[in-house]
Amino acid sequence: MKRLLPRLLLAPAVLSLFAWMVVPLVMTVYFSVVRYNLTIPGPRVFVGLENYRYFFTDPAFLTAVLNTLILLGSVIGITVVLGVALALLIHEPFPGRGAVRLLLIAPFFVMPTAAALMWKFMMMNPIYGVLAQISQAFGAQPVDWLTTYPLLSVIVIVAWEWLPFACLIFITALQSLDQEQMEAARMDGATAPQRFWFLTLPHMARSMAVVTMIEMIYLIGVFAEIFTTTSGGPGNASTNVAFLIFKDALMNFDIGVASAGALFAVVLANIAAIFLLRVVGRNLD
Amino acid sequence: MKTPLHWLALRTVVAWLATLVLVFPLLWLVMTAFKTEVQAIATPPLLLFKPTLQNFATVNAQSDYLRYARNSLVTSLGSTLLGLLIAVPAAYSMVFFRTRRTRDMLMWMLSTKMMPAVGALVPIYLVAKFTGLLDSLIGLTTVFTMTNLPIMVWLLYTYFKDIPNEILEAARMDGASVWKEFRHVILPLGVGGITSTALLAIVLSWNESFWSLNLASFKAGTLSTLIASYSSPEGLFWAKLSAASVLAIAPIIVLGWFSQKQLVAGLTFGAVK
């Protein structure tokens, strides 16, 4: 009784998560080695690695991988650099700091579809968008962002959404910075850049690593922002791996190929997850 | 040593400028929501105008806004309740009946959240399709519950861990049953943690935009689905899109402000302390 009850309490969570993650994973592995297209009736034939070959030799594949990496790298770079800068800016008191903090966080709570369409139309529209109007005011030719720089546009939108998240984490990290040590360094004549480089930055290295890993995990799956703005186009210019899998699965109904791609995405995410789990595990005790 | 005044002034100005640039799109969205469609695309852009509430009425009449809002409410509240029902006992069991395997179990749960959703898209879509749960509130609620469950268990675990074990031991000495112990000790002491966890789950479900785009459309679509449908409409629609967005975003931003600490803790899996 004493040992049964704790297990009973835990069982729903464990079993449902098992059904949610492990079962689909097994199904995906199975689908990835059979020929299975929803539009073509007939038995599912074992085809070995043919789906993988198809997915990996799809001309869109290399573009999608490259786009995924560029998106990841750029958004992480932008949010870490600007996030640290913003955190340094607002971590010490100034008039209106509370209001600034509230406002800065707001973009993170905007649902991705709303954020993406707001940028697509109100900001990036080549005629009526605010960005076009500003460039015209300066006498420059307005840019059709989504067709000329589709991937960059997606990067801007996603970075705008994730900057508050990074900033919040960096503010938390700054709060635990040893102020006495800072003061001592100042007394010893260390300049502000020196203090930043030798004290603040090393102190924040850990949270920067964490932000990088976590954004990697979430940004591999960027979907809604692409779906509502560029639909992966023009051509495949803004298609990432997640969107390519979506296209294979729900537009071409090729379950086999989509499953092969899905396993590729899982492997990609696991690279970040392994490192992150180590940090998480250390903090758990 | 006090900061010189000009330094403070400069920092204040720069901080406010940066903030205004970053939230400008949102402010613009709110302004556009109160313009007429013609004013919304005026060149040069209108800064001063007579606000109208027309868009909010039109959005509701045209796109059945209230139905999507109800779907969002049902799925986010439903998945949060269901999630609590599963996660609270699990976290309780993990904290107060700790075994050697508890830590690994928790790590495994968190690791499921690190899988990209697209990795499970095909099987989940097919299961939903063949069970008739595609575009249904039950299907979407279940999916939302599962996406948030690892984070909920983990957050509750950290909250319950702060409850001193002595209190529980005292209750057990007095012969309290597990249910009584839970009802009279854990629940009152953990109510703050449970509320924060629920708040976070509501925010995350409300904004969820992968499964709601792939599994739901006309019948079970959430506000996220409705807004996505504005992605290629015809005619003038910016003011209406803005009004629909403002209505969808405003309540959750307020909730979000209250739950930002949990949000960071939940989304980072506790990797930041």
Q: Nearest Cβ partner of A221 from B44, B116, B249?
A: B116
Contacts of A279 in chain B (CB under 8 A): 271
Given the structure tokens 């930041």, which residue do they identify? B272
Contacts of A121 in chain B (CB under 8 A): 238, 241
pLDDT (tens digit per residue) in A42-68:
788 888 888 899 899 888 899 999 999
CB contact under 8 A, A14 and B105: yes
Question: Nearest residue on chain A to B117, judged by CA atoms?
Answer: A221
pLDDT band at A70 (very low <50, low <70, confident <90, very high): very high
Q: Is the dihedral of CA B28, B34, B37, B42 positive or negative?
A: negative
Question: Nearest residue on chain A to B96, judged by CA atoms?
Answer: A6
Cα–Cα distance between B240 and A84 in angstroms, integer?
37
Mutate to test the interface with B, among A113, A134, A238 (most CBs of B within 10 A): A113
Cα–Cα distance between A151 and B52 in angstroms, integer?
36
Please classify residue A176 by burial: count the beta carbons closer than 10 Å to its beta carbon, then call 0-12 exposed, 13-18 middle and 19+ buried.
exposed
d(CA A185, nearest CA chain B) in Å: 13
CB contact under 8 A, B93 and A6: yes
CB contact under 8 A, A21 and B28: no
CB contact under 8 A, B228 and A117: yes
CB A126 within 8 A of CB A145: yes
CB contact under 8 A, B267 and A165: yes
What is the model's pLDDT at position B1? 47
* Structure tokens, A256: 């086999």
3-state helix, strand, coil in chain B (%, to 5): 75, 0, 25
β pairing state of A34-35 and A45-46: antiparallel
Q: Nearest Cβ partner of A119 from B25, B32, B178?
A: B25
Cα–Cα distance between A116 and A70 in angstroms, integer?
19
pLDDT (tens digit per residue) in A183-241:
898 888 888 889 889 888 888 888 888 888 888 888 888 999 999 999 888 989 999 98
Given the structure tokens 């900001």, which residue do they identify? A123
Q: Enter the pTM of the model.
A: 0.90
Q: Nearest Cβ partner of A121 from B86, B125, B241?
A: B241
Contacts of B110 in chain A (CB under 8 A): 277, 280
CB contact under 8 A, A262 and B110: no
CB contact under 8 A, B110 and A277: yes
Q: Is the dihedral of CA A174, A178, A183, A185 positive or negative?
A: negative
Cα–Cα distance between B46 and B240 in angstroms, integer?
17
CB contact under 8 A, B22 and A255: no
Neighbouring C-beta atoms of residue A109, cutoff 10 Å: 24
Question: Nearest residue on chain B to A3, judged by CA atoms?
Answer: B97
Cα–Cα distance between A213 and A272 in angstroms, integer?
6
Question: Nearest residue on chain A to B150, judged by CA atoms?
Answer: A17
Neighbouring C-beta atoms of residue B52, cutoff 10 Å: 15
Supply angle C-alpha A154, A222, A220, rounded to 5: 120
Given the structure tokens 């589709």, which residue do they identify? A150
CB contact under 8 A, B116 and A220: yes
CB contact under 8 A, B18 and A94: no
What is the model's pLDDT at position B96? 85
Return phi, psi of residue A35, to 5°: -85, 115
* Structure tokens, A115: 């954020």
SS3 label, residue A31: helix
Cα–Cα distance between A153 and A234 in angstroms, integer?
12
Cα–Cα distance between B62 and B236 in angstroms, integer?
13
pLDDT (tens digit per residue) in A109-149:
999 999 999 999 989 988 888 898 888 888 888 888 999 99
CB contact under 8 A, A103 and B19: yes
Mutate to test the interface with B, among A117, A154, A162 (most CBs of B within 10 A): A117
Cα–Cα distance between B223 and A130 in angstroms, integer?
25
The DSSP-derived string for B9-67 is HHHHHHHHHHHHHHHHHHHHHHHHHTS-HHHHT-SSPPSS-----HHHHHHHHHH-HHH
Q: How far is CA A137 from CA A124, A160, A183, B50, B69, in A?
A: 15, 24, 47, 24, 39
SS3 label, residue B177: coil
CB contact under 8 A, B268 and A169: yes
CB contact under 8 A, B214 and A246: yes
Mutate to test the interface with A, among B68, B76, B114 (most CBs of A within 10 A): B114
Supply angle C-alpha A123, A126, A129, rounded to 5: 30
CB contact under 8 A, B122 and A284: no
Mean pLDDT of the region A266-284: 81
Q: Nearest Cβ partner of A12 from B86, B112, B231?
A: B86
Exposed e or buried b per residue across A142-162, where buried means at least 16 C-beta atoms within 10 angstroms of its C-beta: bbebbeebbbebbbbbbbbbb
Q: Nearest Cβ partner of A104 from B19, B43, B150?
A: B19
CB contact under 8 A, B109 and A123: no
Question: Nearest residue on chain A to B6, judged by CA atoms?
Answer: A94
Cα–Cα distance between A168 and A103 in angstroms, integer?
12
Q: What pLDDT tens digit does each residue of chain B (273 aa) get?
A: 456 788 889 989 999 999 999 999 999 999 999 988 888 887 778 788 888 888 888 888 877 888 999 999 999 999 999 999 999 999 999 998 888 888 889 888 888 888 888 888 889 999 999 999 999 999 999 999 999 999 999 889 988 988 888 887 787 777 777 788 888 888 888 888 899 899 989 999 999 999 999 999 889 999 999 999 888 766 678 888 999 999 999 988 988 888 877 777 777 777 776
Question: Nearest residue on chain B to A16, judged by CA atoms?
Answer: B146
